[in-house]
Amino acid sequence: MTTNKHKERVDTSRRGFLGAAAVVTTVTVAPGVVLHRLAVAEPRSEAVTSDVRWGMLIDSTKCAEGCDACVTACNRENGLDLQKQPKGEDADQQKKWDRQAAKWIRIVKVKDNLTGHESRLPMMCQHCEHPPCVDVCPTGASFKRADGIVMVDRHTCIGCRYCMMACPYKARSFIHETVDTKLTRAPRGKGCVESCNLCVHRRDNGTPSTACADACAAQGQGAILFGDLKDPEGPLMKKLTTLSSRQIREDLALDTGVRYAGV
């Protein structure tokens, strides 16, 4: 009988390598996992419900000539004033850029063709009950929240601009340029579409009103009244029941959340 006297030495370098790799991996990944856990904020405890429907009443008779406080306030609130013209200083470039920069709210002045009656009013997303922009969006990025706010999910917007084709109010803007500076409460990125979201961060943080309505009130105009269209006792519905109002392009039967008086 023969015995295996010559015992081969086991090569342990592979084990060593695997062990070291495991340690390196753990050291690399673990802080990330921990930090990620910490970084993920506590989800908002309550989901948005359809118990409310946010809307507005704009009394154009109170909209004062020469005032653009609502536009300025919206720009500041939603970081629109941080937009910068990318390049080119000549007049043509600037004109084009002015047509490309995002605007959530603008002042429009109209004259009746027959009577010559003039009205001045702020226009923005009308937060339709049946929004055409939501119907046409191929990915569902354009959506309506349970509380009636129509907005864009910037994670799924592919920048096809079909919603801009579909919106009867020309309320939407496309981000034509690279964005360097933006506000946390109003994220913005090149190649996506956005529009007025009734200061949705305020809704989610429980802050009352919108920037435009506050600014208008601060000017003493009080032409913009923000509130809940489902609350019959709220100031908005109380006003709407007493003041004659209309929807812009009511022929489209979109049941807008923004109503106008005096137009």
**Shortest approach of other proteins to residue 202 CB, angstroms?**
23
**Shortest approach of other proteins to residue 143 CB, angstroms?**
9
Instruction: List phi, psi (to 5°) of 261.
Output: -115, 145
Distances (CA, A) of 24 to 13, 17, 20, 35, 203: 16, 10, 6, 18, 45
84 part of the interface to other proteins, by CB under 8 A:
no
**Shortest approach of other proteins to residue 58 CB, angstroms?**
14
Name which of residues 152 to 191 contact other proteins (CB under 8 A). 156-162, 164-170, 172-178, 190-191
Residues with Cβ < 8 Å from 222, sequence gap 6 or more?
59, 62, 216
238 or 245, CB closer to other proteins?
Answer: 245
**Shortest approach of other proteins to residue 211 CB, angstroms?**
16
196 part of the interface to other proteins, by CB under 8 A:
no
Q: Which amino acid is at 126?
A: Q
106 part of the interface to other proteins, by CB under 8 A:
yes
d(CA 101, CA 12) in angstroms, rounded, equals: 65
71 part of the interface to other proteins, by CB under 8 A:
yes
Q: Which stretch binds other proteins (CB under 8 A): 8-16, 29-37, 133-141, 214-222?
A: 133-141
31 part of the interface to other proteins, by CB under 8 A:
no
Instruction: Name which position in 25, 26, 50, 139 contacts other proteins (CB under 8 A).
Output: 139
Give, as one character, the DSSP assignment of residue 8.
Answer: P
Residue written as token pair 């964005």? 179
Collapse the DSSP code of 263 into the 3-class scheme (helix H, G, I; strand E, B; otherwise coil) and give the result: coil
**Shortest approach of other proteins to residue 164 CB, angstroms?**
4
* CA 53 and chain centroid, separation: 17
Instruction: Name which position in 11, 46, 233, 251 contacts other proteins (CB under 8 A).
Output: 251
Side-chain-side CA neighbours of 181 within 13 Å: the count stands at: 9
d(CA 47, CA 168) in angstroms, rounded, equals: 30
Q: Which two tokens stand for residue 130?
A: 């049946």
Under the rule (CB under 8 A), what is the footprint of other proteins?
A: 68, 71, 86, 96-97, 99-103, 106-114, 118, 123, 132, 134-140, 156-162, 164-170, 172-178, 190-193, 248-249, 251-252, 263
